[in-house]
Amino acid sequence: MAVLGLTSPEAGDWARLRALQYSNMQPLRPVRMCGQFTGALFTAAVVFQALGLVVATAWMAAFCASLWYASNAAGQLSDTEVRRPTVAEVRSHSIAAGVLSAVWALAPLAVGWWGTPTQLMVVWAILAAMIAGSSLFLAALPLSTVTFAILTGTATVIAALVNGQFLFAASVVMLLLLVGFGSVDVARTFLTARIAEAGIAEKSEVVSLLLREFEEHQADWLWEIDTNRRVRKASPRFSFALGKAPDDVDGLPFLQLIAGDAWETGQFAPSLHDLAERLKRRENFSNLIVRVTIDGENRWWELSGTPILDETGSYLGFRGVGSDVTEQRESSEKIAYLARYDTLTGLPNRLMLNEALRDALKFAEQWRTKCAFLMLDLDRFKAVNDSLGHLVGDRLLAEVSSRLKELMDENAMCGRLGGDEFAVVVRDASEKGSVERLARRIIGRLSQPYDIDNHTLYVGASVGSAVGLRDGASVEELMRNADLALYRAKDEGGGEHFAYEPSFHAHAEERRKLEFSLRRAIERKELVLNYQPVVDANTEELVSFEALVRWNSSDHGFVSPGKFIPLAEDTRLIVPIGNWVLETACREAANWPSHVRVAVNVSGEQLVEPDFTSNVVRALSQSGLEANRLEIEVTESIFLRDADIARAALEQVIAIGCTVALDDFGTGYSSLGYLRKLSFSTIKVDRSFVQGAVQNSAESLAIIRAVVAMADSLDMSTTAEGVESAEEAALIRQLGCKKIQGYYFGRPMPVDEVRAIFRRNEAANA
């Protein structure tokens, strides 16, 4: 009954078999229609002889109508090669076949009742030929053949019995039995062969997949699941990998078998989520690394899989191969850890920070939120590293990393970019002011004292931040903008947080162009020296000039020293510029009166150059200036970088007869040890103390008195800077300073005005 199509048992995929049956009848449909019509013409001729033209015409019309109906029903099933027929389509085709068979059955009934026995036998001969042809052409679909044979054969038997042709009736019955059983048996054989072909193709596909995976990836076992993602046909090796017997695995959910306790909690590992999504989307995957839990132990599997589709394209499940790669995974994780974490601090390194920032940007774009990237740089760390050694510096960095981790939560991750630069990635920075508060906490915590190897150390932190997607939509853009903000914070003296602003780009571009022009300033003769006079505090007699470099750029116009000197320091252009200043100042001072000296400011970058002393000697010899008329001015900051080298360079300069002045004393990292270790000739009191003393600041007055007393006891001179009025000059004299420098006695002036002063003095003395 199932082969005939009258029933569809629950066991087996009979819808698939129906598709095989109906798809087989489509190629020969035109031939069958032609055969039907030819047989009908012969039958109509016999009916015409027996019953006349009217009956024959009426029967032929009924036949044509039923044939058209049957053809349409068959046409609806023309695409069952790629799909499964519906119940309604099968029913419609069966009804159409029955109607056509019923029309055919009218012919033997009419001829047997009103015609002759001979005419009945002719009609049966035509019908027998039609039955034989149907059994051949519709071997896969016996229902049409059986229906046609039963209806036409029964009509013929009835007609034969009416005419008393009992032997003829018996032969018709025998033929019907043979056709019925034969058709069913042929159909069963056909379906069995097609199922076997599909099975062979499926097995061939599995074998090909296994061979390919074993050859390419050395996979270990086969797995297969149905449409409900339940395991079927569990192989022994797959069952062994699960730690279970094959019978205990079949029928269980695949994800449940490999998820462990996560199946109950729903807290799946990301790799399991990925696997579940791929199975849900029914997409191929290869070499997918999945973390599984087998008997409470975490393992790593490498899985490859492909959807199972039948010849109609219907989804039947998944099959694939897999292998246990736990040992390889653990080894690769160790390598990956070393590649993604800083070995000194244990913090994520630049690579991992980039990945975290990239994920944060995707999250912000997906959920319309904000993320943030903070770059921070330690203030005064280099001084610690240079003075106490790299071992102490490394321990300080480790302590800094510990403090940073204390400030992090699930929403923020800190890492080390390199050197004394750190960074923080904030995944969700939507809350107003959250980035500013975090930056302030970082600065406050990192600025607290550190106790390392019996040293109490003080370093601060500068922070620059950028917010995504507002300040940048890519990792590179956001990091660059945070770096610009950090640079601004460092420019402001450190210990500050600056959020990125678009104007910083303009500042950076201006700085780049300024640096480009500064590199060509000497050869284009754009640098000039101005000289500010220094006078005796009591007699107001001119004793020296301080050489001050000025830059009148052809590209940028006059550039303030406060702008280009720090740039020269950062780019180490201060070394060639400083050498030019030294040579030019010595050459000019050689033409001055012998009692007037020249003071030249020297950067720390110049002092650490191996040939600094040679440059001083060359400048003196080429100009002919006596060594005692050259004064080298340095600030306390030179001792924070390579202090031993700087001190040695200054000692060599003193040894050849030059004097050394300590500028801006009291405003930097003051230490009396500097005065003890090096023979300074002059201590210059910063103008901030002078202005404070004029305003009767007790602290400023006390500092000036202390500096003067200390200098006197060490046989050093003192110079007060920034004196701008007669009252200030009088106060400075009263406080005991030996020399005065400021606008009251003269602003920085070009060399022509200096020479004019000397000419006036000569004229007055003459």
Look up the CATH number of the domain holding residue 468. 3.30.70.270
- Which value, in Å, is the radius of gyration of the alpha carbons in the chain? 51
More confident residue, 590 or 50: 590
Query: φ, ψ for residue 67 (rounded to 5)?
Result: -65, -40
Confidence check: pLDDT of 727 > 50: yes
Pair (95, 29) in one structural domain: yes
- What is the CATH number for 238? 3.30.450.20
Please report whether residue 337 resides in a domain: no
- pLDDT tens for 135-190 read 666 655 666 777 777 888 888 888 888 887 888 888 888 888 887 777 777 777 77
CB 511 within 8 A of CB 492: no
- pLDDT tens for 232-260 read 877 788 888 888 888 888 888 888 888 88
Of the listed ranges 104-113, 527-536, 589-598, the least confidently predicted one is 104-113
Average pLDDT over residues 39-56: 82
Three-state DSSP class for residue 421: strand
- pLDDT tens for 447-466 read 999 999 888 888 999 999 99
Of 311, 332, 353, the domain-final residue: 332
Please report whether residue 28 resides in a domain: yes
Average pLDDT over residues 636-655: 80
Range of the domain at 446: 344-501
Confidence check: pLDDT of 564 > 50: yes
Confidence check: pLDDT of 569 > 70: yes
Task: Please tell me the distance from the alpha carbon of residue 756 to that of residue 436, in angstroms, as a whole number.
Answer: 56
pLDDT score recorded for residue 451: 92
* Structure tokens belonging to residue 709: 């007393």
pLDDT score recorded for residue 102: 86
Please report whether residue 101 resides in a domain: yes
Residues contacting 393, CB < 8 A, separation 6+: 381, 384, 385
Letter string b/e over residues 313-326, b meaning 16 or more CB atoms within 10 A of that residue's CB: ebebbbbbbbbbbb
More confident residue, 72 or 211: 72
Pair (589, 721) in one structural domain: yes
Residue 16 pLDDT class (50, 70, 90 cuts): low
Task: Please tell me the distance from the alpha carbon of residue 692 to that of residue 690, in angstroms, as a whole number.
Answer: 5
Pair (188, 226) in one structural domain: no
More confident residue, 74 or 730: 730
Whole-prediction pTM: 0.49
Pair (547, 496) in one structural domain: no
Please report whether residue 82 resides in a domain: yes
H or E element in which residue 691 lies: helix 687-694
CB 636 within 8 A of CB 664: yes
Pair (18, 101) in one structural domain: yes
Please report whether residue 310 resides in a domain: yes
Residue 444 pLDDT class (50, 70, 90 cuts): very high
Pair (295, 359) in one structural domain: no
Average pLDDT over residues 679-706: 87
Pair (95, 179) in one structural domain: yes
Average pLDDT over residues 52-60: 85
Give the burial class of 472: count Cβ atoms within 10 A of its Cβ; 0-12 exposed, 13-18 middle, 19 or more buried.
Answer: buried
Confidence check: pLDDT of 10 > 80: no
- What is the CATH number for 526? 3.20.20.450
Residue 696 pLDDT class (50, 70, 90 cuts): confident
Considering 488-492, 503-507, 752-756, the range whose residues carry the highest mean pLDDT is 752-756
Residue 295 pLDDT class (50, 70, 90 cuts): confident
pLDDT score recorded for residue 215: 44
Confidence check: pLDDT of 587 > 80: yes
Helix ranges (H only) for 218-349 are 236-242, 246-249, 254-259, 262-265, 270-281, 326-340
DSSP 750: -
Helix ranges (H only) for 626-671 are 643-655
Of 332, 357, 384, the domain-final residue: 332
Average pLDDT over residues 289-307: 88
Of 289, 312, 332, the domain-final residue: 332
Considering 14-23, 337-346, 476-485, the range whose residues carry the highest mean pLDDT is 476-485
What is the share, in percent, of the chain residues with pLDDT greater than 90?
Answer: 31
Please report whether residue 711 resides in a domain: yes
Pair (379, 302) in one structural domain: no
Please report whether residue 202 resides in a domain: no
Average pLDDT over residues 632-646: 77
For CA atoms 642, 645, 648, 653, give the dihedral sign: negative
Pair (178, 266) in one structural domain: no
Task: Please tell me the distance from the alpha carbon of residue 650 to that of residue 675, in angstroms, as a whole number.
Answer: 13
H or E element in which residue 418 lies: strand 412-418
End-to-end Cα spacing for the chain: 143
Please report whether residue 623 resides in a domain: yes
CB 476 within 8 A of CB 353: no
Residue 26 pLDDT class (50, 70, 90 cuts): low
Pair (643, 562) in one structural domain: yes
Q: How many domains does the chain have?
A: 4
Pair (239, 169) in one structural domain: no
Pair (421, 442) in one structural domain: yes
Confidence check: pLDDT of 596 > 60: yes
